[in-house]
Structure 1
Amino acid sequence: MKITFLGTGTSQGIPVIGFKHPVCLSKNSKDKRLRSSILIEKDKKNFLIDCGPDFRYQMLRSNHEKLDAIFITHEHQDHIGGLDDIRPINFHMNNPIPIYGLRRVIENLKKRFFYLFSENKKSNISRISVHELELDDCKNFFFVKNYKIFPLSIWHGSLPILGFRIENFAYITDASDIPIQTIQQLKGINILVLNILRKVSNNPFSIMLSETLNIIQKICPKKTYLTHISHTFGFHEEIEIQLPKNVYLAYDRLIIYV
């Protein structure tokens, strides 16, 4: 299974418009981060987790033109803002693209992208098929293209959101808390992707570095890659050498294999 990090930045990306922070001015390509998203490839099937506002450019620069499913963690703009740009992929594949998300998230999409759901489509717009998930589904799994997909219960502040596990790979972003049952579901996994906004945080919607490392210690994955990174976290090269063994900073266009 091949994993491509399409983006690894927080909601504003890096550099942030108008900011003169040293990380925003960095010349290192690893310090330049689009909004967080990954592409999973297995047996010629492509699965996308989150479809943010940078989706078009992410697909172009990674040279991908096919999607077999999209999994949405939650309804914030940096995770859904690129849905309109799946249109050329529809043309190429000549099929609607299945989208999986919590019922609340799907209802949100119906309001924000109402034209995608219209039964009377008078123009060439994106075509999708929606699959609503319930929080109770986090105790089970569902199949997509004959692959088991395990939805994971996560908290983003007071908002329940989803992570996803496919085989020995799991992706969690925007977590502020991970329930014990989810930690139990992930124990001993090969590859974990987990968010880290900054070293110290008073943001109720995210976790700081010490909390992230504590979660990693509880799960004990073979390797962990950190994503959804703010410019205030620091320079990529300086931070990575401070991390524990087998914990790495992800960066845009990083490719790993599971």
Structure 2
Amino acid sequence: MKVLFLGTGTSTGVPQIGCNCDVCTSDDSRDKRLRSSVRIEVDGKVLIIDCTPDFRQQMMGMPFGKINGMLLTHEHYDHVGGIDDLRPFSIFGSVKLYMEEHLENVIRERLPYCFNPKKYGGVPDIEIKRINEYDSFDIEGLKITPIRVMHYKLPIMGFRIKDFAYLTDVKSIPESEYSKLTGLNTLVISALRKTEHISHQSLSEALNISKRIAAKRTYFSHMSHEMGLHGKIEKELPQNTYFAYDGLKIDVF
């Protein structure tokens, strides 16, 4: 499995518009963060988790080919705002979007033209595949395990693919879900900043959860400029935990 971090920033991205802090004015490329998403190559298939407003930019320079499945975590715009940019990928057939029922309702309301019986030219060809938090599902023979996490009161869907798990916008994880996260090689989990936030984990909270899950290695993503300079904060992390950054490629065995 090969995982590419397409974006590792929070909803505003980094640099944040109008901000002149040390992070937003940094010349370290690791401090430039698009909205959070990953591209996964596994068993000859390409999966993408979340379709951000930066999707078009994130796809530039990527191999152009079929997306076998797009997994969507929740309805916030920084996670679904790029769906219209799936248009070019429609030449390979319908792009299958895997999501919960409440998210399907939101997507149909926001993008009604994608679901008209008579579509005009250029509309993205997408097909919604409904999933739930209880049942694993497969994409062309590849098993995906859904993981329920909570973004304060909003339910979010995380995903486990083999021994890799991706959890974003986490504030808490229901006790029942930890059994799905045993024996991981690699965990990706959100950590917004060092100070507490009502709906996102702080770094210390993310470290505590990652310690409990005990993956062989953990990468933190979905970070704001308030986390600090990558070059400094990475030195503060315990062994086998890392800050992800845009363009980072990792292998999962």
Interval containing the TM-score (normalised by the shorter chain): over 0.9
* Structure 2 partner of 1:52: 52
How far the C-alpha of 1:179 sits from its partner, in A, is 1.2
User: After the TM superposition, which of the residue ranges 182-191 and 104-113 deviates more from structure 2?
Assistant: 182-191
> Which of residues 103, 111, 118 in structure 2 aligns to 1:113?
111
How far the C-alpha of 1:181 sits from its partner, in A, is 1.8
* Structure 2 partner of 1:99: 97
User: After the TM superposition, which of the residue ranges 31-40 and 42-51 deviates more from structure 2?
Assistant: 42-51
Amino acid at match of 1:237: G
Query: What secondary structure does 2:195 align onto?
Result: coil
Q: Distance in 2 between matches of 1:64 and 1:205?
A: 36
Query: What secondary structure does 2:9 align onto?
Result: coil
> Which of residues 127, 130, 144 in structure 2 aligns to 1:129?
127
Partners of 2:132 and 2:146 within 8 A in 1: no
Question: TM-score under structure 1 normalisation?
Answer: 0.95
CA displacement, residues 111-140 of structure 1 (integer Å, 9 cap, x when unaligned): 0111111111122210011111223x2xx3
Q: Distance in 2 between matches of 1:63 and 1:9?
A: 23
* Structure 1 partner of 2:20: 20
How far the C-alpha of 1:164 sits from its partner, in A, is 0.3
Partners of 1:187 and 1:218 within 8 A in 2: no
Amino acid at match of 2:168: T
Amino acid at match of 1:159: L
* Structure 1 partner of 2:202: 208
Q: Distance in 1 between matches of 2:32 and 2:155?
A: 29
Amino acid at match of 2:137: F
* Structure 1 partner of 2:7: 7
Q: Distance in 2 between matches of 1:122 and 1:170?
A: 38
Query: What secondary structure does 1:79 align onto?
Result: helix
Amino acid at match of 1:42: V
How far the C-alpha of 1:33 sits from its partner, in A, is 0.3
* Structure 1 partner of 2:249: 255
How do 1:68-217 and structure 2 match up within 5 A?
A: 68-91=68-91, 93=92, 95-135=93-133, 137=134, 140-201=135-196, 203-217=197-211
How far the C-alpha of 1:42 sits from its partner, in A, is 1.5
1:241 equivalent to 2:235? Answer: yes
Question: TM-score under structure 2 normalisation?
Answer: 0.97
Structure 2, unaligned stretches of length 5 or more? none
Change in Cα spacing, 1:100 to 1:11, as seen in structure 2 (3 Å) is same
Q: Distance in 2 between matches of 1:180 and 1:188?
A: 17
Partners of 2:114 and 2:125 within 8 A in 1: yes
Change in Cα spacing, 1:17 to 1:61, as seen in structure 2 (3 Å) is farther
Amino acid at match of 1:111: E
CA displacement, residues 188-213 of structure 1 (integer Å, 9 cap, x when unaligned): 31100000000112x21101111111
Partners of 2:191 and 2:221 within 8 A in 1: yes
How far the C-alpha of 1:66 sits from its partner, in A, is 2.9
Query: What secondary structure does 1:51 align onto?
Result: coil
Question: Aligned pair count?
Answer: 252
Q: Distance in 2 between matches of 1:147 and 1:71?
A: 13
Amino acid at match of 1:150: T
Q: Distance in 2 between matches of 1:222 and 1:13?
A: 28
Q: Distance in 1 between matches of 2:176 and 2:251?
A: 27
Q: Distance in 1 between matches of 2:153 and 2:215?
A: 26
Q: Distance in 2 between matches of 1:25 and 1:89?
A: 35
**Percent pairwise identity:** 44
> Which of residues 213, 216, 220 in structure 2 aligns to 1:222?
216
Structure 1, unaligned stretches of length 5 or more? none
Partners of 1:152 and 1:165 within 8 A in 2: yes
